[in-house]
Structure 1
Amino acid sequence: MSVKVQSVAKALPAHTRHIDEVMPFLDLWLYGQEERFARKVKKIFENAGVDRRYSIMSPEEIFNNASFEEKNNLYIREMTVLGKYCLEDALKKANLQPADIDFIITVSCTGIMIPSLDAYLINELQLRQDIVRLPVTEMGCAAGISGMIYAWQFLKANPGKRAAVVAVESPTATFQQHDYSMANIVSAAIFGDGAACAILSSHDTDSGPAITGAEMYHFYGATHLMGFDLTNSGLKMVLDVEVPDRIAEHFPDIVHPFLARHGLEIADIQHLIFHPGGKKIIQTVEALFNDLGKNIEDTKEVLRLYGNMSSATVLYVLERFLDRQIPEGDKGLMLSFGPGFSAQRILLQW
């Protein structure tokens, strides 16, 4: 018995802008700021490696001084819609019905919902009344892989079952209009909104790349690197400039021992499915992988097309691989980083 990834599907909100269309709104936001600072901010946006982003809000709404309550209510409404769309599409891709799902794992960190998204999806799609729910919050960008790891563990213990992992995020709902810190500016430059769903199966007859291993790696003394502060105006981004250097420092311990425990080296991996955290993190990881003879072109392309959508983004990268004809026997390494600080890894074999 093996656990396989049957399908992955994405869903995008209605509002979208190219970077060129965003710049005039930056001029309005930066009005009254020192000219040199304003030029620096615009350069950060221009050089972020994000050509287009999607949002549950129009630019006018994003740069409006909406309350935390107003933004969170919009998050609840729109994330429910996007979660439904991507789950329906993933079911369609896998030729499944809603009643075929035994476990549902929902992940998000950019808003607050009680009851959690999975409860809404059970009602919207008439999922089984005995379905097992697991909402995962507060794991940030790593949670897409985290959710898959939990699904893998559930399914290993339960042959003949299926799990849906639904990741929904609206980083634009966390934008702080009166915060001109580098953390708020950089996050606004790299993040976008989106949702994605992966369906995993422990049915012998189901197809897809098999998960042959999965692990988490936790950095000590690094809780300050990434996360959110809960303020009266909403979730305020915490993003330390130290993140790329800390990733580089731990990279050998993150990758090589994990592969070695499965009798592999990086040379045995044909496909790298890396979460696009941002341009600097991509450049750091790309340099490390290039030294090992590998590339992360799909990661860079997802960042360019959609921005960083937190937990959902790595599933966008995974979908690109599932939509291709991958030779049997090829192996893939999924990798993401998130608050804690942590690295999440999954080993795939087609």
Structure 2
Amino acid sequence: MSVKIKTVAKALPSYSRSTEEIIPFLDTWLHGQDERFVRKVKKIFENAGVDKRYSLMSPEEVFSNTSFEEKNNIYIREGIKLGAECLERALEKANWAPADIDYLITVSCTGIMIPSLDAFLINKLKMRQDVVRLPVTEMGCAAGISGMIYAKNFLKANPGKRAAVVAMESPAATFQLDDFSMANIVSAAIFGDGAACVLLSSFDDDEGPELVAEEMYHFYDAEHMMGFNLTNTGLQMVLDIEVPETIATHFPEIIYPFLAKENLTIADIDHLIFHPGGKKIVQVVEELFGKLGKNIDDTREVLRMYGNMSSATVLYVLERFMDAPHEKGETGLMLSFGPGFSAQRILLRW
């Protein structure tokens, strides 16, 4: 019995701005700051490798003194709409009905919602009343793949079932107006909002790439590297400057033993489906694997077009591969990183 990916679909918020259009908002936000600091911040935005960002909030709302409550209410209201939209699109692409879903996983870390997103989706789409729910809230950028791992384990234990993983994120809702730290500035420069849904199946008749193997990898004593502090003004980004270098140091342990268990090396992998954490992380991966003839062009392109949308982003990369033609037997390696610090990996075979 195998577990396969049936399809992937994305949904984008209604607000969007190019980097060029965001610069005037930076002038207003940084008014009164040292001129050299202002120039540095603008350079960070201009050199982030992100041409456009989408948002559940208007730029005026992002760069104004909205309260935590106001921002979180937008996250809930607009996030439910966006989550439903990507789930409906995925079901339509798969030619499935909402009642076909046995297991619903929702992942998000950029707001607080109780009941969780899955409860709203069940009502909105009139899904079955016995659908199994799993909300995943604290795994950050890694949660798109984490959700797929949980779905695979459920489906492997339950042949003839189907699962949906919905990732919905609004990093814009975590922007801190009075925080001029590098963590807040860099996150504002690289992050955007978005949602995506991946459908998985343990039906014999459903086609798609098989999830051959999956594993998580935990970095010891690295809890400080990434996450959020909960403050009176909302979720404050924690982003250590050492993240790219730490990832590079651990890459051999993350990649090679995982593939070796399937009697594979990186040379055997046809497609790298990596989460675009940011421009520096993309550059680190390219330096490591470029010499082996591997590329992460789709990862870089998703970062350029949308920014880092936390857990949803790797699913945007996956969608590009799912929509392209493939030969039987081709392999893909999915990889994302998140708070903990941790790495999540899935091996695919078409």
1:211 counterpart = 2:211: yes
Structure 1 match to 2:33: 33
1:86 counterpart = 2:86: yes
Structure 1 match to 2:313: 313
Q: In structure 2, what is the Cα distance between the partners aligned to 1:135 and 1:190? A: 25
2:110 alignment partner, SS class: coil
Q: In structure 1, what is the Cα distance between the partners aligned to 2:289 and 2:238? A: 27
Structure 1 unaligned spans of 5+: none
Compute the TM-score of the two structures, normalised by the length of structure 1: 1.00
Tell me how far 1:74 sits from its aligned partner: 0.5
Q: In structure 2, what is the Cα distance between the partners aligned to 1:343 and 1:275? A: 10
2:211 alignment partner, SS class: strand
The runs of at least 4 consecutive aligned structure 1 residues that moved more than 3 Å come to: none
Superposed, which structure 2 residues align to 1:265-344 within 5 Å? 265-344=265-344
Tell me how far 1:291 sits from its aligned partner: 2.9
Structure 1 match to 2:23: 23
Q: Percent identity?
A: 75
Superposed, which structure 2 residues align to 1:136-215 within 5 Å? 136-215=136-215
* Residues paired across the two proteins, number: 350
Q: In structure 1, what is the Cα distance between the partners aligned to 2:34 and 2:191? A: 25
Instruction: Give, as a single letter, the amino acid of the residue that structure 2 aligns with 1:341.
Output: F
Q: In structure 1, what is the Cα distance between the partners aligned to 2:32 and 2:223? A: 35
Q: In structure 2, what is the Cα distance between the partners aligned to 1:120 and 1:144? A: 19
1:60 alignment partner, SS class: helix
1:138 alignment partner, SS class: coil
Q: Deviations over 1:201-222 (max 9, x none)?
A: 0000001100000000000010
Q: In structure 1, what is the Cα distance between the partners aligned to 2:232 and 2:334? A: 36
Tell me how far 1:285 sits from its aligned partner: 1.4
Structure 2 unaligned spans of 5+: none
Q: Deviations over 1:29-52 (max 9, x none)?
A: 111000000000000000000000
1:264 alignment partner, SS class: coil
Structure 2 match to 1:236: 236
1:100 counterpart = 2:106: no
Tell me how far 1:289 sits from its aligned partner: 1.4
Superposed, which structure 2 residues align to 1:112-127 within 5 Å? 112-127=112-127
1:272 alignment partner, SS class: strand
Q: In structure 1, what is the Cα distance between the partners aligned to 2:292 and 2:63? A: 43
Tell me how far 1:226 sits from its aligned partner: 0.2
Q: Deviations over 1:288-308 (max 9, x none)?
A: 111332110000000000000
Tell me how far 1:286 sits from its aligned partner: 1.5
RMSD value, Cα: 0.5
1:236 alignment partner, SS class: strand
Tell me how far 1:158 sits from its aligned partner: 0.3
2:224 alignment partner, SS class: coil
Q: In structure 2, what is the Cα distance between the partners aligned to 1:30 and 1:121? A: 39
1:291 alignment partner, SS class: helix
2:92 alignment partner, SS class: helix
1:44 counterpart = 2:38: no
Structure 1 match to 2:129: 129
Tell me how far 1:7 sits from its aligned partner: 0.5
Structure 1 match to 2:262: 262
Bigger CA drift: 282-291 or 257-266? Answer: 282-291
Q: In structure 1, what is the Cα distance between the partners aligned to 2:226 and 2:154? A: 28
Q: Deviations over 1:82-140 (max 9, x none)?
A: 00000000001111000000000000000000000000000000010000000001100
Q: In structure 2, what is the Cα distance between the partners aligned to 1:59 and 1:71? A: 12
